[in-house]
Structure 1
């Protein structure tokens, strides 16, 4: 179970949530892969190897606590701090506009391919 902690300066409760997050930004040629650190009522903190512009609108593709699958979640970059080897980023998420993602991982693609192969073999004479 994830730990809850209090972030006293902001008065928000944070939930540790270490997951890989795909970030889609129109200014990037390819999606950026980031590592989330924690969730709060106000958004997500994550680390990234690339910087993001403050106030930029992005789409996050990630899993959510106690929810199966991946979701596409609109968000906005609130702040980006440079650290020694990476960047620490704060994102406000619009969970009410989240939608189930059409993105499949390689494992899911292989599973679906195997399932389709079995289905088609059964229907052959």
Structure 2
């Protein structure tokens, strides 16, 4: 009977080892699948981050260009305000009507620039605000 009992113990031990091996193998496969899914999500997030950084850099460039352009317009406005009056304008332009037309066009252009700048700043605020969330 000792041999039967020892064989039973050995059989139980081998079955336990086989069961443990199957369980460990299953858990490792599940962990590998979840790790691959996480790496895939991480790659997707990294791609989105790179694209967002490129968009932000492009927007920063546009803001710099607009700021430089606004500075030029401001200098032009100051120069116009300080150096042109009606008398010198009449000397520089053929008629008073022509001068009024030029001033009207300048005012229209300045309003359009200010309006466009406001829209761009509003867009940037919206875009940068949504990225922080």
Same fold (TM over 0.5): no
TM-score, length basis structure 1: 0.25
Question: What is the TM-score normalised by the length of structure 2?
Answer: 0.24
Structure with the bigger percentage of strand:
1
* Bigger helix share: 2
